[in-house]
Structure 1
Amino acid sequence: MGRADRLMAHSDPEPTFDAQVAVVGAGPVGMTLAGRLAQMGVRVILLEQHPQHTGEGSKALCMQRETLEIWARLGIGEEVARRGVQWNLGRTYFRGRELFQVRLPSSTRDHFPPFVNINQTEVEAMLLARINELREVDLRWSHRLVGISQDAGGVSLRCDTPSGERTLRVAYLVGTDGAHSAVRNAAGMGFPGHSFPDLFLICDIRARLPFPRERRFFFDPPWNPGRQVLIHPQPDDTWRIDWQVPPGTDVEAERTSGGLDRRVRAVIGPTTDYELLWLTPYRFHQRLVERFRIGRVFLAGDAAHLVSPFGARGLNSGVADAENLAWKLATVLVGRASDDLLESFHTERREAALENLAVTDASMKFMVPRGRLRRLLRNAILRGSLRLPQLRRLVNSGRLAQPFTYAGSPIVVADERDAPIPAIGSVAPDAPCRSLDEANVTRLRELFGRGFVALLVVASPREAAMAAIRASRLAWPAPCRIVAIGADGPLAGVTALVDSEGEIRGAYGEAGSSAYLVRPDGHLAAWIPLKRADSVDAMPGLLAIAIGG
């Protein structure tokens, strides 16, 4: 691993530490976190209670663009996008008639599509292969957490292992071990929320079907009257069909009696050959921990929050949890920030989870309304929307995941512009560009994820050079790469880029010269106008705020 891949250097752990961080749960969230920590020079023990990776079925399916960007930093994003089914259109139907379609925003600035469908098991295999390449990650199978204790200096973990019980000592512990999290239980954290009684059934089938590569949601179709069906494409002629089924449905009995076959053929046609790959019934839950952090113990992914699957907000938000926490732990462990920075993980990601809960709860209240009056109202809206297009905005078939904006975060500097483009706290936009030095950068987001970036978008080459050179000579409280947009030649200590297709100015606003501070997770931490060359002198102070100073 080269120096550019770890602007945050190793810190020497206490001699008694087995590693700096322990991550419990080697699913997609845990492996993403362990991999990103390793890239930042942090030694990680990754514990998994199962003896090996044994994925089955599609599980989580829809991978969001920003999730692909995070995985691109880890080295698998391109492979996930290449293997998956790319889509940007969702259609919603009622009784066989299309009510509306939603085309997800995409532009020439974006490298990845809005969504890629690929089964979670295949992504886990890619992550596992990458994790095995990182010497900083010590992956230990058949390690089941049975207890924890923490003090001012670290966390001790007791694990059942094939060779008996063993105690490990680390500086920080992260639970990414799912809905029944052993870390959450051992830390005494509750998991308040509620569960929906409605029963759903997922089938993965392989068949050659004339269906389009898009999300299709059906209210009250003739082949599942009074209930819903969702259809998603997957690679290799594989399809997910997700039915709402009557309470008390016995899936195994249906499989034996031929009822399941009739259910599938009602969707795909009576004579189409198909292979059943996987099926599982499920109920969904809306739950959220009160705290994402207690001292040196953290929770991420399903261990911290559960939402319904309609909207693809589960795995995607878990990967965002991992990316948010990785750079903060690394910054604290290297000694560039106090422990206070870690509290912002709870603040930022719990707000994101609250938004996901609110959005998915509204979706489920429309899809499966509780009580006679709510069901009558829902049905009236659906029937009325066939005749009155203005009612269609009330139809909720799942609001698809979007990256969260940390607008109210204590480590994001408030933006005083009337119409900020882009909003501070949001994910920094991508755009094509061309390098003026050996960096060979072709798009902005290639620069993100390895430390902070000071992005100077300057109107004239002379101003760009002056501001960039001055910024490169400042004393920064944490490593920060200076990137100058608008320079006309290489600059010492600066990454000089050309807005080769005019997209950067469009993405970052047209008004004058500006400086943006981009965090290691790709979110914008601050913005200032560059009215003079010495305006950049304020940037190190903004970075100090961004690391909790």
Structure 2
Amino acid sequence: MRNRAVAVIGNGPVGQTTALLLARWGVPVVLLDGRPERDLVGSKAICQQRDVLDVWESVGAGRRIADEGVTWTTARTFYRDSELFAYELGDAGRSSFPPFVNISQSRTEEILDECIATQPLIDVRWNCQVEGVDQDDEGVTLRCARGDVRAAYVVACAGARGDEIRRMLGVRFDGHSFDDRFLICDIRAGLTGWARERRFYFDPEWNPGRQVLIHPCPDSTFRIDWQVPGDYDLEAEERSGALERRIRAIIGDIPYEIMWKSVYRFHSRVVDRMRAGRVLLAGDCAHLVAPFGARGLNSGVGDAENAAWKLAWVLRGRAGEELLETYHEERHAAAVENIEVTTATMDFLVPQTPEQHATRLSVLSTAAADPAARARVDSGRLSEPFWYVASPLTTPCPDRPFAGRPPRGSVPPPGPGILAPDVPVAAPGCTRFRELAREGFLVLAAPGAEDVTASVPVLPLASIDVGGALTEALGARPGELWLVRPDAYIAAVVTDAAGLEAAIARATGRQASAVSSPASRAVRTGT
């Protein structure tokens, strides 16, 4: 019998999400981790973006994570003791989730573990270090000290320290590391008025010449990140009392307790290939970015969803193996964009030349009064879904061209390659559009196109959109047919049956073009 199982290497949040999504599609999963048990320490990746919460809700975790976390909708940026600007985060539809929720990675992992425990298709194996990867035409054999594991495909979510896995697969992990370090302290304290917003400080008097980032977390806990010199010594600062003074400079005389502390250095790296034969690489195993903008774990969940539906379609015989190559094309492009965005932020935060220092000082000094300068202040473009407008699976629509990257805090209008907005709908078993979209490929037929038949389900838009909210959010026009992928991305907007079937073939990899050209990618990433 043909092996239809998928092995997932790494039981962190990206591996957990991958396993849960595969099981949701009916795919058996062996979830491996070399550690003896879960390490529930520290806040780590705390900012969970709205669309990631929505992915987690499809496996039973999103609402729990959102309800336990701290919701914030405002991002404030300061220069020294003056606020430069604040902005609210937008929504193209009527999402049931807030823009961002802060919750420790440890608690997120616990909730995902509880979901995994109810899923009979997932076999979790701790203390199972992968020592070798052998591939053939039928599958992959993972050589482990406790016995080999055989699977049809593998998703490697081994994290930032997945050097051995990358070496076994023969992929490069090019990039660089930043010299400055960052000190994290999770403190529990009653900071009045700070519980619903992210605060970013350029050059405050209590960290002169560098930056500080403050995030609220549950249970009156705050995550504080200080930029510190490359030779920073945490133990020496603790002994001298300087750490106490550092914290007091921010919170004053109120009582506090340090829950966790760590010093780390940022990296900016991406593998040259996110597909190595029958192995897909995801999360920090495939890409590392500076955390300003919360693009690490959130992007890893994007990897997980992209990999899961494509593996499920191939294993079910609904698509050929060429569909898996588009995993690399789509998610590598997402990783490259994240590196471009976060590197630009780091260049602004940590200028390397006198000219860069002068430019930064000029921008910050004038930003409070000059909107043009304000737009150039870069404290981190917050995480957003990647838009597959240049993907080989996306059918362009001349009437709905992508206008380039929207202003920070906003989202692009719906169209091919864009994640569909979420709004309430009236459909059997579903109350939100994305719930319905994640059941598989779907065509929404606007008025005038309801009689079209296709090789995937067709739903008259009016039949589920009783109040008109979905039509309004999409900007759907009479006669249009909207093809939506299993990850709720819009694959095409067409106006006839022939165009629809061609778009379906393309979206399932059967007519995918070659890797998008530099010109098309420039359109996608334009500012």
The alignment's TM-score, normalised by the length of structure 2, stands at 0.91
More displaced, 150-159 or 58-67?
Answer: 150-159
Change (3 A) 1:510 1:427: closer
- Counterparts in 2 of 1:504 and 1:387: CA distance versus 1, 3 Å: closer
Residue 201 in 1 paired to residue 183 in 2? Answer: yes
Out of 447, 456, 465, the position equivalent to 1:498 is: 465
- Matching of residue 249 in structure 1 with residue 229 in structure 2: no
Find the counterpart in structure 1 of residue 254 from structure 2: 272
User: In the alignment, is the contact (CA less than 8 A) between 2:186 and 2:258 conserved in 1?
Assistant: yes
**Paired residue type of 2:465:** V
Please name the residue that 2:514 is paired with. none
Q: 2:93 touches 2:421 (CA, 8 Å); kept in 1?
A: no
Q: Which residue of 1 aligns with 2:478?
A: 512
| Contact 1:307/1:313 (8 A) holds in 2 | yes
Pairing 1:139–2:100 present:
no
Q: Residues 511 and 96 of structure 1: is their aligned pair in 2 closer, same or farther, counting only changes over 3 Å?
A: same
- The amino acid of 2:492's aligned partner reads A
* 1:211 matched residue in structure 2: 193
In 2, are the aligned partners of 1:56 and 1:121 still within 8 Å (CA)? yes
Partner of 1:184: 166
| Superposed counterparts of 1:444-483, under 5 Å | 444-458=433-447, 463=448, 466-467=450-451, 470-471=452-453, 474=454, 476=455, 480-483=456-459
Whether the aligned pair in 2 keeps the contact of 1:24 and 1:174 (CA below 8 Å) is yes
In structure 1, C-alpha distance between the alignment counterparts of 2:45 and 2:457, rounded to whole Å:
35
> Helix, strand or coil for the counterpart of 1:302?
helix
Q: What does the per-residue CA deviation read over 1:149-176, in whole Å, with 9 as the maximum and x for residues that have no partner?
A: 1122211111123xxxx22221111110
Confirm whether residue 151 of structure 1 aligns to residue 143 of structure 2.
no
Q: Verify the 8 A CA contact 1:206 1:277 in the aligned structure 2.
A: yes
| Contact residue 432 and residue 499 of structure 1 kept, 8 A | no
The residue aligned with 1:3 is none
Deviation at 1:373, TM superposition (A): 2.6
CA distance in 1, matches of 2:400, 2:77: 36
Report the Cα distance in structure 1 between the residues aligned to 2:193 and 2:250, rounded to whole angstroms. Answer: 11
Distance 1:82 1:301 in 2: 25
Note the 1:268-417 alignment, pairs <5 A.
Answer: 268-269=251-252, 271-417=253-399
Is the 1:207–1:274 Cα contact (8 Å) retained in structure 2?
Answer: yes
Is residue 431 of structure 2 the alignment partner of residue 442 of structure 1?
yes
Question: Contact 1:499–1:505 (CA<8 Å) still a contact in 2?
Answer: no
Indicate conservation of the 8 Å contact 1:310/1:360, yes or no. Answer: yes
Aligned to 1:232: 215
Distance 1:510 1:294, change over 3 A: closer
1:170 to 143, 151, 161: 151
1:538 deviates by 4.6
- Between stretches 249-258 and 318-327, larger displacement belongs to 249-258
1:24–1:183 Cα contact (<8 Å) kept: no
Q: CA deviation at 1:320?
A: 0.2
Indicate the larger mover: 131-140 or 503-512.
503-512
After superposition, the C-alpha distances for 1:285-340 in whole angstroms (9 at most, x for unaligned) are 10011100111111000000000000010000000000001010011111111110
Matches within 5 A, 1:45-56: 45-56=30-41
- Partner AA of 1:139 in structure 2: V
Measured against aligned partners, the alpha-carbon deviations of 1:334-384 in whole angstroms (never above 9, x if no partner) come to 111111000000000011111111110100000001123322221222123
Match of 1:493? none
Give the C-alpha shift of residue 451 in structure 1: 1.3
Deviation, structure 1 residue 385: 2.5
CA distance in 2, matches of 1:396, 1:221: 16
Match of 1:85 among 62, 70, 74: 70
Which letter does structure 1 place at the counterpart of 2:504?
Answer: L
Which residue is 2:519 aligned to? none
Corresponding residue to 1:544 among 493, 502, 505? 505
**Structure 1 residue identity aligned to 2:277:** G
1:434-482 Cα distance to aligned partner (Å, 9 max, x none): 24xxx14322112022211112232xxxx57x52xx53xx4x2xxx343
Cα distance change of structure 1 residues 289 and 113 upon mapping to structure 2, 3 Å threshold: same
Q: Distance in 1 between matches of 2:444 and 2:5?
A: 31
Q: 95, 110, 115: which is aligned to 2:100? A: 115
Change (3 A) 1:387 1:449: closer
* The 10-residue stretch of structure 1 (167-176 or 287-296) with the greater mean CA deviation from structure 2: 167-176
Q: What is the one-letter code of the residue matched to 1:295?
A: G
Structure 1 segments, 4+ long, off by >4 Å, are: 418-421
CA distance change for structure 1 residues 306 and 548 in 2, over 3 Å: closer, same or farther?
same
What are the residue-to-residue correspondences of 1:15-26 with 2, within 5 Å?
17=3, 20-26=5-11
Based on CA coordinates, which of the two structures has the bigger radius of gyration?
1
Residue identity matched to 1:525: A
Report the Cα offset of residue 107 of structure 1.
6.2
**Residue matched to 2:48:** 63
The residue number in structure 1 matching 2:409 is none
1:387 CA displacement? 4.6
Match of 2:460 among 462, 479, 484: 484
Paired with 2:71 and 2:485, the residues of 1 have a C-alpha distance of: 28
The question of 1:72 aligning with 2:72 is answered no
* 1:431 Cα offset (Å): 1.5
The count of aligned residue pairs is: 498
Match of 2:423 in 1: 431
**Residue type matched to 2:58 in 1?**
R
CA contact (8 A) 1:60 1:315 kept: yes
**SS of 1:256 mapped into structure 2:** helix
Shift of 1:393: 1.4
Q: Secondary structure at the match of 1:74?
A: coil
Residues 1:99 and 2:75 aligned together: no
User: Counterpart amino acid of 1:453?
Assistant: L
How large is the Cα RMSD of the aligned pairs?
Answer: 1.6
Structure 1 stretch displaced more, 203-212 or 246-255: 246-255
The answer as to whether partners of 2:446 and 2:477 remain within 8 angstroms in 1 is no
2:487 is aligned to 521
CA distance in 1, matches of 2:372, 2:99: 26
How much identity, in percent, do the aligned residues show?
47
Change (3 A) 1:333 1:540: same
In the superposition, relative to structure 1, how do residues 256 and 217 fare at CA in structure 2: closer, same or farther (>3 Å)? same
- TM-superposition CA deviations, 1:22-62 (whole Å, max 9, x none): 11000111011111111111111100111111221110011
**Cα 1:342–1:84 shift into 2, 3 Å:** same
Stretch of structure 1 that moved more, 59-68 or 181-190: 181-190
**Which sits farther off after the overlay, 42-51 or 446-455?**
446-455
For normalisation by structure 1, the TM-score amounts to 0.88
Q: Is this contact kept in 1: 2:92–2:421, CA < 8 A?
A: no
In the aligned structure 2, how far is the partner of 1:140 from the partner of 1:418? Answer: 47
Q: Is the 8 A contact 2:415 2:492 kept in 1?
A: no
Gaps of 5+ in 1: 1-12, 487-495, 530-534
Amino acid at match of 2:171: M
Distance in 1 separating the partners of 2:258 and 2:82: 28
